[in-house]
Amino acid sequence: MNENLFTSFITPTMVGIPIVPLIIMFPSILFPSPSRLVDNRLVSIQQWLVRLTSKQMLSIHSHKGQTWALMLMSLILFIGSTNLLGLLPHSFTPTTQLSMNLGMAIPLWAGTVATGFRYKTKASLAHFLPQGTPFPLIPMLVIIETISLFIQPVALAVRLTANITAGHLLIHLIGGATLTLTSISTITAFITFTVLVLLTILEFAVALIQAYVFTLLVSLYLHDNT
Amino acid sequence: MEVTFRVIGRAGWGGLSRGFCAEMLQSLVKNVWIPVKVYCTRVYQEIWVGTGLMGFTVYKIRTADKRRKALKALSLAPAHGHR
């Protein structure tokens, strides 16, 4: 049973060749590019959603921060679509892999920090010491702020990994329990099935919320540095 | 499809691989690279720095893991040899 629980997180291979790159590139097929002045319904809905999200997310940014619009919109679309596709039965979710999420978090976080040091060096260094700190506490607070800075990409990656992995594990566990209980007690199986349906609805919400949280945090780190 | 038929008509099945690849590459450059060139080369320079940092971290973790496995194999080998 333990082996069955974690087999869905093993990176899939086909004839010995890992097919994870294909799975990562797959969601891009689901977003057709707008090619006309007035497009079809799907593309129009996609454009409307992207416009809504980008307006909401980029309204706080300066001119420099708004150059990251393409990156932030691509990020939220990629993570959201990958998470949602992972809710299909027997599919592999790349965002359950910590390596993948660290691979997204570290370059983006480092990019925001490097942007801050390049264009606003004094302001970026000033972030290491909060305003109004008592003199004796300065060394300790600088250390604490440095640690909190370096923990940001790790927290970003682990938050996404843990949320998606935990959700998938719970669905797997409760689904298995429902199947087992059908032969033992129908009423208990029905209650467990109701819990499973509610959990699946929650996982749909978590999939979108986690994409939004990841992108929002990257956007906030960028805002602090621009 | 139109592209495939045109290329086969020109140079047979050998031309399919070379000519088709060349046309695909040209289409890729025109439709993908040209629009994102400014972003990749100027706007997101700092993200490349971050990518380099991540690559360096991955390299360090991989070499440390290889070293650990090599040391483990070495420490096990004399133990087996002295039986």
pLDDT digits (tens), chain A, 226 positions: 456 778 888 888 888 888 999 999 999 998 988 888 888 999 999 999 999 999 999 999 988 899 999 999 999 999 999 999 999 988 999 999 999 999 999 999 999 999 999 998 988 888 888 888 888 888 899 999 999 999 999 999 999 999 999 999 999 999 999 999 999 999 999 999 999 999 999 999 999 999 999 999 999 999 999 8
Residue B3 pLDDT exceeds 60:
no
pLDDT in tens, A113-132: 999 999 989 888 888 888 88
Residue B47 pLDDT exceeds 70:
yes
With beta carbons less than 8 A apart as the criterion, state whether A175 and A194 touch: no
Mutation target for A interface from B40, B41, B45, B54: give the one with most A CBs within 10 A: B54
Q: What are phi and psi of A60, to 5 degrees?
A: -85, -10
User: B 8-67 residues with CB below 8 A of A?
Assistant: 36, 39, 43-44, 46-47, 49-51, 53-54, 57
Contact B47 A118 (CB under 8 A): no
Q: What is the pTM of this model?
A: 0.86
Q: Give Dmax over CA atoms of chain A in angstroms.
A: 69
Check residue B1 and give its pLDDT. 45
With beta carbons less than 8 A apart as the criterion, state whether A207 and A83 touch: yes
User: B49 to chain A: which residues are within 8 Å by CB?
Assistant: 110-111, 114
Instruction: Assess A32–B contact: CB distance below 8 Å, yes or no.
Output: no
ipTM of the complex: 0.81
Nearest-CB residue to B46 (from A102, A103, A111): A111
First CA to last CA distance, chain B? 68
Instruction: Assess A189–B contact: CB distance below 8 Å, yes or no.
Output: no
Q: Give Dmax over CA atoms of chain B in angstroms.
A: 72
SS3 A14: strand
pLDDT in tens, A66-94: 999 999 999 999 999 999 999 998 899 99
CB contact set of A221 (below 8 Å; sequence gap of 6+)? A108, A109, A112, A113, A152
Mutation target for A interface from B45, B49, B65: give the one with most A CBs within 10 A: B49
pLDDT band at B11 (very low <50, low <70, confident <90, very high): low
Domain ranges across chain A:
7-225
Residue B15 pLDDT exceeds 80:
no
Mutation target for A interface from B46, B58, B65: give the one with most A CBs within 10 A: B46
What is the enclosing helix (H) or strand (E) of A81? helix A69-85
Q: Measured between alpha carbons, how far is B4 from B12 in angstroms, rounded to an integer? A: 10
